[in-house]
């Protein structure tokens, strides 16, 4: 079947469109919406791409001859997209989470609620050669649009999971990043395996997690605190070796 012969979905009551919308809102486990050629390509190269979505014929759609195609009206396509300027293509991708074998350098996110921060941290973790990023169960959904977009494709290359921090106590040294910890300059490096904990944007790391960890901080001046993605990236760069 050619792209031209596909039946276009044009009503919001359509079952397939409703399913796509649920995926785009991060409500379907292990499935995500990828927007734009770069993310779709990353998904395809990682063998996770299951569907291509478009509203008009273009050269990008034709690249993925072995992937199921879904054609939407421009109005529904716009409703699905997170961008004002519509991407030429979107895709549905699998995103499987891990439950063990998280490696020697782990970033743990405690109740982070901003998808941009979570995606940026995943991207930095990949850049600084960390092994995995683990989220607490009350973080924003790892499958949400903002997380996917901010990760810039790193989400397909980084081991991800959802676990309580207590699961790491027996085998890992745990370090909580706080405002009242020991200065990171006192540590030449962190003994592996270790978990680096980053806390909620407004409230920081919950007390029960601080109580089972060693607290460390970045020495900053002229301001009270840093954005969690910025602080996390500094810590990851500092302890990448």
Q: How far is CA 195 from CA 155, 171, 236, in A?
A: 19, 10, 11
Residues 86, 155: one domain? Answer: no
- 149 domain-assigned: yes
Counting the structural domains of the chain, the total is: 2
Would you say 71 and 9 are in contact if contact means Cβ atoms under 8 Å apart? yes
Regions of the chain where pLDDT drops below 50: 1
**Based on the domain organization, do 71 and 188 belong to the same domain?**
no
Domain extent at residue 188: 105-238
Q: Are 119 and 54 members of one domain?
A: no
Predicted pLDDT of residue 234: 97
Tell whether 100 is covered by a domain. Answer: no
- Cis status of the peptide bond prior to 193, with omega within 30 of 0: yes
Q: Which of 94, 116, 148 is the last residue of a domain?
A: 94
Q: What is the pLDDT of residue 1?
A: 44
Q: Are residues 126 and 224 in the same domain?
A: yes
In a domain, 192, yes or no: yes
Same domain, 179 and 132: yes
147 within some domain: yes
Q: Which residues pair with 134 in a beta bridge?
A: 108, 161
Judge if 120 and 143 occupy the same domain.
Answer: yes
With 0-12 / 13-18 / 19 or more C-beta atoms within 10 angstroms meaning exposed / middle / buried, residue 241 is exposed
**CA angle (26 as vertex; 40, 50 as ends), nearest 5:** 35
Please report which helix (H) or strand (E) contains residue 182, including its range: strand 173-183
Q: How far apart are CA 192 and CA 104, in angstroms?
A: 6
Residue 80 lies in a domain: yes
Please provide the distance, in angstroms rounded to a whole number, between the alpha carbons at the two ends of the chain.
Answer: 52
Answer yes or no: do 114 and 194 share one domain: yes
Residue 190: which CATH number? Answer: 3.40.1280.10
Q: Which residues contact 43 (CB under 8 A, 6 or more apart)?
A: 34, 49, 91, 93, 156
58: CATH: 3.30.1330.30
Q: Cα-Cα-Cα-Cα dihedral of 95, 101, 105, 109, to 10°?
A: 50
The pTM assigned to this predicted structure is 0.90
Are residues 121 and 88 part of one domain?
Answer: no
122 and 232 inside one domain: yes
Q: Do both 66 and 152 map to the same domain? A: no
Looking at the domain assignment, is residue 74 inside a domain?
A: yes
- β-pair partners for 71: 54
Gap between the Cα atoms of 85 and 68, Å rounded: 24
Q: What is the pLDDT of residue 3?
A: 55
Q: Are residues 156 and 195 in the same domain?
A: yes
Q: What whole-number distance in Å separates Cα of residue 8 and Cα of residue 10? A: 6
Name the domain boundary from 94, 129, 155: 94
Q: Report if residue 99 sits inside a domain.
A: no
Structural domain ending residue among the three candidates 94, 129, 149? 94
pLDDT for 199 equals: 96
What's the gap between Cα 175 and its chain centre? 22
pLDDT for the residue 116? 96
113 with 213, same domain? yes
């Amino acid at each position: 079947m050619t792209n031209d012969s596909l039946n276009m979905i044009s009503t919001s009551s359509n079952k397939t469109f409703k399913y796509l919308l649920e995926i785009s809102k991060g409500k379907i486990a292990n499935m995500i919406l990828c927007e734009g050629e770069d993310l779709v390509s990353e998904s395809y190269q990682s063998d996770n791409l299951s569907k291509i979505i478009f509203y008009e014929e273009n050269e990008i759609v034709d690249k993925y001859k072995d992937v199921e195609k879904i054609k939407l009206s421009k109005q529904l396509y716009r409703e699905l997209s997170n961008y004002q300027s519509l991407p030429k293509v979107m895709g549905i991708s699998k995103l499987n989470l891990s439950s063990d074998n998280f490696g020697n350098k782990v970033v743990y996110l405690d109740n982070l609620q901003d998808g941009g921060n979570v995606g940026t941290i995943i991207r930095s973790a990949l850049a600084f050669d960390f092994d995995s990023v683990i989220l607490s169960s009350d973080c924003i959904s790892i499958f949400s649009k903002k997380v996917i977009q901010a990760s810039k494709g790193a989400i397909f290359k980084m081991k991800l999971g959802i676990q309580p921090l207590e699961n790491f106590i027996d085998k890992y040294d745990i370090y909580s990043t706080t405002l009242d910890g020991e200065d990171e300059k006192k540590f030449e490096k962190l003994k592996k395996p270790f978990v680096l904990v980053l806390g909620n944007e407004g409230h920081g790391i919950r007390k029960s997690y601080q109580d089972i960890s060693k607290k460390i901080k970045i020495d900053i001046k002229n301001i009270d605190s840093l954005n969690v993605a910025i602080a996390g990236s500094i810590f990851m760069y500092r302890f990448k070796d």
